[in-house]
Structure 1
């Protein structure tokens, strides 16, 4: 029976680095220091494949988002996004 993790998209390190705007080596350093988003190691030893669950990366970004008072004021004054705008933004973030 599939688990919840098998239903989630798993991203390569290069995809996550691109999404976060950092170098792949920075992401590797974060893994080594246990400071970046949680990751999945597939296979044994140093040659293991590293993947990141998309939902975990999103949650990590949310947890590291700092909202300023100015941003709160702007958000309160901005009209809400339509469903179409949310879908379009999602497609952009997924690279579709």
Structure 2
């Protein structure tokens, strides 16, 4: 199966992270890995679906356990 690439707007629609939040995370070096297809401030950004899923998995906090 081919890798699926999503624009920030598609990420917003499917995962609920606002486009501006994604941009801020990129600037801060946080959030899921991304691909910058063109140089410069207005460069086109894409996210691999697998990178988003892996990032979400890494953010998962296990609850419960002994106190």
TM-score above 0.5, yes or no: yes
In 2, distance between residues paired with 1:20 and 1:67?
Answer: 20
TM-score normalised by L of structure 1: 0.60
Query: Is residue 22 of structure 2 the alignment partner of residue 27 of structure 1?
Result: yes
In 2, distance between residues paired with 1:12 and 1:23?
Answer: 12
Gaps of 5+ in 2: none
Gaps of 5+ in 1: 1-6, 71-96
Count of aligned residue pairs for this structure pair: 64
1:18 shift after superposition: 3.0
Question: RMSD of aligned C-alpha atoms?
Answer: 1.6
- Higher RCO (C-alpha under 8 Å, 6+ residues apart): 2
Q: Which has the higher helix share?
A: 1
In 1, distance between residues paired with 2:24 and 2:10?
Answer: 16
1:17 shift after superposition: 2.3
TM-score normalised by L of structure 2: 0.83
